[in-house]
Chain A
Amino acid sequence: MAKRVELENRIIPYKMLYEAVKSTSGLIEGILPDKGIPSLRIGLKHLKSVMEEYIQKAREGLPIIGHHFSFPTEYLSCFDCVPVCIEAVSYLLAALLPHGSEKYYDLITNWGHPFHTCTSQKGTMGMTLDDLFKFDAIITPTAPCDNTYASYPFFSYHKKIPLIAPDLPFLKEEKSYHYHGEQIKLGLEALGKVINQEPDYSKLREAIELENQVTKLQLEIFELKKVKPCPVENMFNAMSAAAAIYLSGRTEKASFYNDMLEISKKRYKNKEHHAGEEKIRSIWPYMIIFFDLELGEWLDRHLGMSILFDIFNYNFAEPINTKSDLDTMLYGMARRSMEAPMVKQSAEFYYSFIDECVQLAKDYSADCFIFTSHIGCKQFGSVPQILREALRDEVGIPMLLIDVDVGDARFASEKIIRDKIKMFSQTLM
């Protein structure tokens, strides 16, 4: 028993997160009416069951593998392990608990970590500094930003956790996909050596096939968002971001998107909007505010503002060919990694990001853009004004720029953010 507890205690913050998911899910089931915010209800239900399973695996002593969100979780399916996404832990805690990860941001900041780095990493760094996480190894591509190259060495140099870093080159070209595919393979092999396992590529193949199916569902939902009113509620964006990581490579993920697709189709047929009336259609080309999970629902209900999608919900990769040899699959995996949200935009010049935003604005009849300029994301620091000019000149719509830390309310609070959006929306009406 003591041994089981010790093993389980290697992932204390993950357990905290599980408890937060469980109680939020319980509250929703008990309080919300049957049809209220289905994405939240369905998403949390699946998160709970998957997390439960991973905690059980931790109890059994499987290795705990930390990974960056841009190293897709399903790539770890080739190992018997407990995958923990470094960034997702910080931000899901921030989303579900009041002042969720702030204590851990402060711990690592007090230790000397610069205040201007990304809170998505700071949270888990603080937890690891406090020995709440005991990772057996960590894997991260060298992407998408300075924070990754800068922050991850803390794990290896200070906490002595083996760090594996498959290189992800700048510029999406054929040679880049081959190089990164090879890097993924070398990375998985190196990780296998650390945890004494051989990568099981047939399990990986299965997980990728599931992800291929999920992409089809995601694209159908994405297509439905073109209609007015948008048949998908704002909360879907947050839950979809969580599902992308926590349910990755699993049947629960397909189930989540399948259910959401059915609900959205029904709304589409009935020309129904989740919260009554859609007045403003907004696109958030970057992130939503993670510490304010309720913001999406508030926008739906109080301003009639749809968030058509954020950065985690408009980047879709081509299906990966799993029917051929391993190298072909790795090539496809490299392409998928390089099309992942944020990596896609960081691994190339930003001309195509601007062009894509302009096209999305047209295709989805957007009334405005809201750009959350996150303190950690220096790689996007020179994009907003260029994007604003392009939207104004080519589509004739405005863009609101908000300086935030998407994981820390102390930088710009819920009230400040909501006030800004409210004032902005008044200029649109």
Chain B
Amino acid sequence: MYKDPFLTASNSIKNHYIEDWQKDNKKIVGHYCTYIPEELLYAANLLPFRIRATGHEDTDLGDIYMVRFTCSFVRATLDMALRGFYDFLDGLFICNSCDHSRRMFELFDLKVFKREGFNKKVPRFYIAIPHIVTKEGFEWYKREIEELKEEIEKNYNNKKITDEDLLNSINIYNKNRSLLREIHKLRIQDAPKITGTEALQISMANSSVPKDIANQELERILNLLKEIEGLKTDAKRVMLVGSEVDDINFTKLIENSGANIVSDFLCFGIRNFLDDVKLEDGKNPLEMISRRHYYRISCPRMMDDHQRRLDFIKDEIKRAKIDGVILQRINNCDLAGCDNMLFSHELKDLEIPVLNIDREFFQADTTRLQTRIEAFIEMIS
């Protein structure tokens, strides 16, 4: 699977699908977070691209503008942007996901888009998302998305985004999530049809290509997977939880240590496709998009929703027959770090083996990590 042409789109930032999209003079916009409603962007004929730093191991330029207590993933993306990797973007969508990524609004403005030799005008958009899940919070978020729609219309050709555009986009995205869920079912079965690394590649590739093309590719992969035999292995079944992961070297490190990541709770993982935009007769499609994004299973930025996250993990442990949970955080990620702290105690109370590790975004300190992971796998045995 590793060399499947679709999966290889996950190995780099740009890919031929993007180039094809640009040939038609269509726009590509970047964002950092799954709280950005991609359905709305896609309805405006924009290609949403989830910003990654896959394979990038340098943060030298990023380090000039971000102190060492910040997240090495975000620093690496800034580094890439300062080196021109993200010059193909025609727009940037930022929200207050975390303290590290939200400041990219200013840094892209002051340092990336104003650097010497870069002359393109790139519109930036900001969405303020509440930090709690309440009906008042939903009203706030809904208004933010309504305003965002107007801003998009103003900035890109003054073309109105119609309900029909939104419904088409919702259907494409719902289908996309449904296909990913089907693939996930094949991942969690007793003899998994794909590894955690392959699942991550699928997810990353999926975030980097137009969704109608992704849907064709996912259908092809799904049919392929249905035909093949599952992995008959003694590897321990683990669930990976915590900070952003967009580097298969990290998942490979775990899977080469005697484990198979059969499920996860990651934003480049299943958290992104668990639920759909529900379409109800007579309901405004934009509101339904907002509803799905606001009420879906949250990330640790939502401070009052830890219990729901824990319940999900507990259910998934049963559903995917998990032997142990690996909690990981990128250093300086306070959100995942503190959520993991609570998970680690709560899961231990349920006698579920837990490993809680910290790491850098890029592969550093791998021997220490591998030793800890191997010891954990052995302990499960």
Contacts and interface: CB of A to CB of B under 8 A. Distances in A.
Interface of A: 111-114, 116-118, 142, 145-154, 156-158, 163, 165, 167, 169-171, 175-176, 179, 182-183, 186, 346, 349-351, 373, 375-379, 381-386, 401, 403
Interface string B79-107: 00000000000000000101110110111
Given A114-B329, A114-B334, A142-B131, A170 B70 contact: no
17 contacts: A114-B341, A142-B131, A146-B99, A146-B335, A150-B334, A150-B338, A150-B339, A153-B304, A153-B306, A154-B338, A156-B304, A165-B304, A379-B99, A381-B100, A386-B106, A386-B110, A401-B67
A385 B62 CA distance: 11
Contact of A378 (B99, B129, B344, B356): B99
A112 B356 contact: yes
Nearest to A166: B132
A428 B102 CA distance: 35
Contacts, number: 148
B306 to A, nearest CB: 5
B132 to A, nearest CB: 5
A378 B334 CA distance: 9
A401 B69 CA distance: 13
A384 B136 contact: no
Given A112-B344, A151-B338, A167-B136, A146 B69 contact: no
Interface string B315-334: 00000000000000101111
A401 B339 CA distance: 31
B371 interface: no
Query: Interface size for chain B: under 10, 10 to 19, 20 to 34, or 35 or more residues?
Result: 35 or more
Nearest to B327: A112
B363 interface: no
Contacts of B71: 378
Nearest to B143: A175
Contacts of B301: 146, 149
Given A116-B337, A381-B69, A381-B100, A167 B131 contact: yes
Nearest to B140: A179
Contact of A170 (B96, B107, B143, B303): B96
Given A149-B131, A385-B65, A182 B136 contact: yes
Given A167-B136, A377-B69, A378-B334, 15 more contacts: A112-B340, A112-B344, A113-B341, A114-B329, A114-B337, A114-B358, A146-B98, A157-B307, A165-B131, A170-B129, A171-B126, A176-B128, A346-B99, A376-B334, A386-B65
Interface of B: 64-71, 96, 98-100, 102-103, 105-107, 110, 126, 128-132, 134, 136-137, 140, 143, 300-304, 306-307, 329, 331-335, 337-342, 344-345, 356, 358
Given A179-B140, A183-B136, A154 B99 contact: no
Given A165-B304, A167-B130, A169-B128, A149 B67 contact: no
A174 to B, nearest CB: 12
B11 to A, nearest CB: 28
Given A113-B341, A114-B337, A152-B303, A403 B67 contact: yes
A145 B332 CA distance: 13
A57 B26 CA distance: 67
B338 A381 contact: no
A403 B303 CA distance: 28
A228 B100 CA distance: 39
Given A117-B337, A150-B335, A163 B69 contact: no
A349 B342 CA distance: 31
B339 A158 contact: no
Contacts of A175: 143
4 tightest Cβ-Cβ pairs between the two chains A and B: A114-B337, A142-B131, A150-B338, A170-B128
Given A114-B338, A116-B334, A386-B106, A165 B136 contact: no
A366 to B, nearest CB: 22
B336 to A, nearest CB: 8
A170 B339 CA distance: 22
A158 B345 contact: yes
Contacts of A154: 338, 341-342
Contacts of B334: 114, 116-118, 146-147, 150-151, 376, 378
Contacts of A113: 337-338, 341
B140 A149 contact: no
B303 A149 contact: yes
A142 B132 contact: yes
B136 A153 contact: no
Given A179-B140, A378-B69, A150 B337 contact: yes
